[in-house]
Amino acid sequence: MNAFDALMAHARETQALAQVAGRLGWDQETMMPRGAAPQRGEEMAAMEAVLHARRVDARVADWLAELEGTDLDAPAAAQLRHIRRSHTRASKVPAALAARIARVTSQAQGTWADARGSDDFSAFAPTLEEVIALKREEGQALANGGDVYDAMLSDYEPGTTGAELEAMFGALRPELSALRAAVRDAKAPPTLKGTFDEAAQMKLTRKLARAFGYDMTHGRVDKAVHPFSSGSGLDVRITTRTNPDDPFNCFYSTIHEVGHAAYEQNISRDYLLTPLGEGVSMGVHESQSRIYENQIGRSRAFTGWLFGQMKDTFGDFGIADEDSFYACVNRVSDGYIRTEADELQYNLHVLLRFDLERALMADDLQVADLEAAWNDRFEADFGYPVDKPSNGVLQDVHWSVGLFGYFPTYSLGNVYAGCLHEAMRSALPELDSQLARGDTSAATGWLRDNVQSHGGLYEPREVIARARGAEPSEAPLLAYLKEKFTGIYGL
Q: CA 451, CA 464: separation in Å to the nearest integer? A: 7
Q: Give just the sign of the alpha carbon dihedral 210, 247, 300, 173.
A: negative
Nearest to 4 by CA among 73, 50, 52, 54: 73
What is the spatial distance between Cα 434 and Cα 299, in angstroms, rounded to a whole number? 12
Gap between the Cα atoms of 178 and 482, Å rounded: 10
Question: CA-to-CA distance for 462 and 361, rounded, in angstroms?
Answer: 28
Is residue 254 a contact partner of residue 205, using CB atoms and an 8 Å limit?
A: yes
Give the CA-trace dihedral at 151, 397, 289, 404, to 10 degrees.
-10
Which SS3 state, helix, strand or coil, does residue 230 take? strand
Count of other CB atoms within 10 angstroms of residue 379: 12
Q: Are 100 and 134 in contact (CB under 8 A)?
A: yes
For residues 256 and 474, give the distance between their C-alpha atoms in angstroms, rounded to a whole number: 21
Sheet of strand 221-223, all strands in order from the earlier edge strand to the far edge: 221-223, 235-240, 229-232
- Kindly state the DSSP code that residue 338 receives in the 8-state scheme: G
> For residue 231, what is the enclosing H or E element?
strand 229-232
* Phi then psi dihedrals of residue 315, to 5 deg: 75, -160
Is 43 annotated in the active site?
no
Instruction: Tell me the residue length of the chain.
Output: 491
- d(CA 111, CA 121) in angstroms, rounded, equals 10
With contact defined as beta carbons under 8 Å apart, do 284 and 463 qualify? yes
Per annotation, catalytic residue among 29, 138, 257, 278 = 257
Q: How far apart are CA 457 and CA 463, in angstroms?
A: 9
Catalytic residue numbers, as ranges: 257
